[in-house]
Amino acid sequence: MARRPQSTASRPRIGVTGNHKSFSPSWIFLSLAIRLAGGIPARIHIKRRIDLKGLQAIVVSGGDDIHPTLYDSEPAYQVTYDPQRDELELEHIRYAREHHLPLLGICRGHQLINVEWGGNLYKDINPLRSQTSTRSSLLPRKKVRITSTACLMSIIRKGEIKVNSLHNQAVDRVGIGLRCVAFDNDNFIQAIESSSAQPVLGVQWHPEYLFFLPTQFRIFRWLIEQAQNHSNRQSS
């Protein structure tokens, strides 16, 4: 039997934070993936704030490096930071944490979730790599191992996948209340999730650019399912 299409009213509204550029490939691909998964994306940036009470989940997307002062480190030379975006996204992460909204962090967003939970970051992992490439790629070329007991494993349904890589920062010490659940061949952390019942997931790669792969699209399906569950609990 064919599934009936969801009405617009029944689809959860997903806030997506990101940069404020008029042309943003990340936003274009994220909004497409969220719509295909059954949600309604709502763009958020420093020039476009929305009422958070109308959201059923939040995605914190990728972008510039997080300012090191947020995790008690010193800024690096010749690195672009965006303190206004840092502040905006931390505000949204805290809102999701306080109101138990499903939360997905992608690349920078994954790192910022870890910082909010009290963890820290490697400012630049490129000199520390030995088994993985320093070359950025939108294509899925990097192998990632997923912990067998992770929620992420139940989402992706594979113990090893290939992902893209666009980052030079990475999670170092994991924040309290989070656990690391995926690693690359240099053992840098590639995914974190909440150790409690709250649906919080961070991935170091960019699944929005790989949504045509079933393993990656399941991340967005998971987010929509969690958002629907949250909405049902709120209305019951």
pLDDT in tens, 161-199: 999 999 999 999 999 999 999 999 999 999 999 999 899
Cβ contact 62:231 at 8 Å: no
Task: Please report the domains of the chain, with CATH numbers, ordered by start residue.
Answer: 13-235 (3.40.50.880)
- Catalogue the active-site residues: 107, 206, 208
DSSP label at residue 78: T
Cβ contact 42:50 at 8 Å: yes
3-state secondary structure at position 198 = coil
Q: Residue 10: pLDDT band by 50, 70, 90 thresholds?
A: confident
Q: Tokens 């490939």 sit at which residue?
A: 25
Note the pTM of the prediction, 2 decimals: 0.95
Cβ contact 99:157 at 8 Å: no
- Please give the pLDDT value at position 130: 94
Q: Residue 75: pLDDT band by 50, 70, 90 thresholds?
A: confident
For residues 195-207, one letter each, b for 16 or more C-beta atoms within 10 angstroms of the residue's C-beta and e for the rest, the string is eeeebbbbbbbbb
